[in-house]
Each structure stands twice: as C-alpha cells, then as structure tokens.
Amino acid sequence: MEKTKLYCYVDENGQDTLGRIFVVSVVAVGKQRDELLALCEHLEQVSEKRKDKWGEAKHDRRMRYLHYVFADERLKGALRYEIFHNTRDYDTSTITAIASAVRWNEPTDK
C-alpha cells in the first residue's frame, strides 16, 4: 500500500458557548496543498475577509468567504467538519474530528 502525505488544517469555534455547541473544521489535502493554499488566500482577498481573525472579520465578509469556499470545485472533498454538543472536552473533540477527517475515505464495511 502506497503512503500518501496528508496535510490537515484545523480550526475550532464554540468554546465561548461553554460546551453547548463546539464545531471543529478540518481541511485535509495531499499533493494539491500548495494550489489550495493559494486559492484560499485568493478567496480571502476577493471576499475582503483578508487575513483578519475569523471573529474579528465582519459578518458579511465571513459569509462571502464561506460562499466562495463552498462553491469552488477544487475544495470539494477536502472540507470536513464535526459538531459536538454539551461537552467541554475540547481537546478530545478536536482529536476525534481530525481522526474522522483523516479516515473519511476508508471503507466502513470492515
């Protein structure tokens, strides 16, 4: 079995809800890493979100950025997210989301 290098970019949101809802997003990419990184940087510029931290960017710019990200075919299959409810175990939730993203294409009928 050939090994493939996989890059995971992880972000989380929701600690301010005190565990009511916690969302972990993961972008998992292989050889197309540099291309997709350049694409996301371009989308940050055209959406006017720029390099602003997510919470500091204006709402309309964040929504425009997300629209561009989800509409771009090159990112299809690379985006993952997991939503956790009623937990303050943020580390375990983040690790669980990363593991799910990495194992996304594995057969489930083992």
Quick one: CA torsion of 37, 43, 45, 48, rounded to 10 degrees?
Answer: -140
**Are 44 and 28 in the same domain?**
no
- The answer to whether 67 touches 77, Cβ cutoff 8 Å, is no
**Are 25 and 15 in the same domain?**
yes
Instruction: Give the type of residue at 14.
Output: G
User: What is the reported pLDDT for 44?
Assistant: 95
User: What is the reported pLDDT for 10?
Assistant: 95
φ, ψ of residue 64 to 5 degrees: the values are: -65, -40
**Are 71 and 87 in the same domain?**
no
Reported confidence tier of residue 33, pLDDT bands at 50, 70, 90 = very high
**Are 3 and 19 in the same domain?**
yes
- What is the total count of domains within the chain? 2
* Structural domain harbouring 63: 33-76
The answer to pTM > 0.85 is: no
Tell me the per-residue pLDDT of 44-98, one tens digit each, with 9 for 90 and over. Answer: 999 999 988 888 899 999 999 999 999 999 998 889 999 999 999 999 999 999 9
**Are 40 and 70 in the same domain?**
yes
Quick one: which of 25, 40, 65 has its CA closest to 8? 25
Instruction: Give the type of residue at 39.
Output: L
